[in-house]
Amino acid sequence: MHDGMTLISTLAAAFGLALVLGLLAQWARLPALVGYLLAGVLIGPYTPGFVGDVHLAQQLSEVGVMLLMFGVGLHFSVGDLMSVKGIALPGALVQMGAATAMGAGLAHFWWGWDVGASLVFGLALSVASTVVLLRALESRELLHTGNGRIAVGWLVVEDLAMVLALVLMPVLGGKAEGSGGNLAVTIVTTLLAVAAFVAVMLIFGRRLLPWLLWQVNRTGSRELFTLATVAAAVGLAVGAAALFGVSVALGAFFAGLVLRESAFSERAAHESLPLRDAFAVLFFVAVGMLFDPMVLVRQPLAVLATVAVILVGKTIAAGALVLLLRYPLSTALTVAVSLAQIGEFSFILLGLGQSLNLVPAEATSLVVAGAIVSIALNPLLFSGVEPLRRWVLARSAWARKLEARDDPLAELPADTPSTSLAGQIVLVGHGTLGTALHEQLGERPVVVIDRDRDVVEHLRASGQAAVLGDAAEAMTLVQAHIAQAAWLVVALADVRGVPALLALARQLNPALRCAVLAHTDEEEQWLAEAGVSHVLRSQRALAQALARVVSQEEPTARGAH
């Protein structure tokens, strides 16, 4: 094919095969990203047939990383970041140190690599993939929960550490002049550059970006607004990398962070969503293109050892650290699984290591093989978190103690008014829907159950009765005084656990009435058959509310004319 068509042919093959294999993976009850990875393998240089341009695919996938991190920043605040610094900062640094030690020890003592190559290899196994983590959290609606914020904060710390590692690698490879003094200067310079970038974004970017979007919005052009959003994400990411030496992912994250306080943050997130999804697919395809299947034949034990460090070593290290920092078992499992994979930074690190002649060529094959396996298995690990948590809690008193941690938020205060605990409404979930519903209930007594610590702390501070925990557990329902409740209202996006929750609640209160919002006709029928007394169809309920507003306003509007 003509050279000018390389980009088009690579995109056509990548998107086409990703669609077909993604559908096949879904039909086989596997995550769609497994299909995307296989699509990359098929159009990669190590398999026969059409070969896409690896370098082009990698550059396009970087755009996906920028847009994803920009979207995270739009829904993340400086307060969120600071609220998790107590766990994210020490946790990420110690976990990276432990994973680096495991990988370096494996390479040095088993394979006989020198110290420099071993350290680079271990560091490549220590850092998780931005794209994989965000896709996993978003697909399970965990991104904006307390556990999700901890995982994202952990990732930001890892990115900052990797920025420093990439700057120091030439020193490790003997490419920089001097030794100890020069190393100290390099570290200080890098830290000052990162601090300067953060200061510029928080002081000047916070004013400039919202003003820019306001000016574009005044034109009334949707395409110009979308263009401004994408230009802000990509332009600031690339500018941050060029001027301050930070990663493009980190630059895009802070671009979204400073734009969050703008009135256009939700619209900016919505407008960039299709591009984010498309380029995220390209990321997985690009990873697959790097994979040489023959490494499984040539070095099967080395691949297994690499995968073990990623899936077992990192998971145990992260989970143990979270527990040592006195967080509950559910947080430990979520964070541990979130980090049980590697991705883009690992490839960047290995690429630089090879250019500096620090690592052997086989290191890249092993890291890519580890990335492929860990990325493919990560959604399955996530799906097993909740069943594993419940299995462990049911069989281990020690685990139940870890989960509770004598948490004062897990039970109502002793001075909770008795009027709030008789005929009350137990509201499960206090997200967007739960908050809006709570506001409409007025003076009705309500006890909120939520798994987000920040939500429960905020409600307690405002004088609202709230319990931290999983509503599907009997102890949580007991703490919410479900036996005296009149209503159980479930305000969650995922209603698959409602039948089991309702069955447990009615064991404690047989007369309990239950209301749930269904999103499809199938959900509505299924919930009704499960015994939910009041199932509301979301679109129908919205239409009825709008009809009431129109009916009430119509006479007034006519009178005004």
Residue 62 is part of a domain; what is its CATH number?
A: 1.20.1530.20
Beta bridge partners of 534: 515
Same domain assignment for residues 484 and 383: no
Q: What is the pLDDT of residue 405?
A: 54
430 — phi, psi (to 5°)? -130, 50
Same domain assignment for residues 521 and 450: yes
CA dihedral 316, 317, 318, 322 (to 10 degrees): 100
Q: What is the pLDDT of residue 557?
A: 47
Q: What is the pLDDT of residue 173?
A: 60
For residue 459, being part of any structural domain is answered with yes
Distance of alpha carbon 553 from the chain centroid: 43
Same domain assignment for residues 211 and 101: yes
Residue numbers in the chain where pLDDT is lower than 50: 1-2, 176-179, 557-561
Q: What is the pLDDT of residue 409?
A: 61
* CA 441 to each of CA 356, 444, 471, 489: distance values in angstroms, whole numbers, following the listed order: 64, 6, 20, 12
pLDDT tens string 213-258:
888 888 888 888 888 888 888 888 888 888 887 778 778 888 888 8
Integer Cα distance of 229 and 213 in angstroms: 8
* CA 402 to each of CA 320, 333, 352, 498: distance values in angstroms, whole numbers, following the listed order: 11, 12, 42, 26
Q: What is the pLDDT of residue 172?
A: 62
Same domain assignment for residues 345 and 311: yes
For residue 42, being part of any structural domain is answered with no
Integer Cα distance of 522 and 545 in angstroms: 22
Q: What is the pLDDT of residue 177?
A: 46
Say how many C-beta atoms besides its own lie within 10 A of residue 182's C-beta.
Answer: 12
Q: What is the pLDDT of residue 526?
A: 84
Total domains in the fold of the chain: 2
For residue 390, being part of any structural domain is answered with yes
Beta strands at 425-428 and 534-537: parallel, antiparallel or unpaired:
unpaired
**Token reading at 333:** 């499992």
Integer Cα distance of 533 and 490 in angstroms: 12
Q: What is the pLDDT of residue 110?
A: 92
The parent domain of residue 457 ranges over: 415-560
Same domain assignment for residues 425 and 386: no
Let me know how many helices (H) and strands (E) the chain has, helices first. 27, 6
Q: What is the pLDDT of residue 560?
A: 46
For residue 318, being part of any structural domain is answered with yes
Integer Cα distance of 61 and 64 in angstroms: 5
Nearest to 282 by CA among 10, 51, 28: 10
Q: What is the pLDDT of residue 425?
A: 92
Nearest to 197 by CA among 159, 242, 130, 261: 242
**Of 395, 428, 448, at which residue does a domain stop?**
395
For residue 246, being part of any structural domain is answered with yes
Integer Cα distance of 331 and 142 in angstroms: 11
Which value, in Å, is the radius of gyration of the alpha carbons in the chain? 26
What pTM did the predictor assign? Answer: 0.67
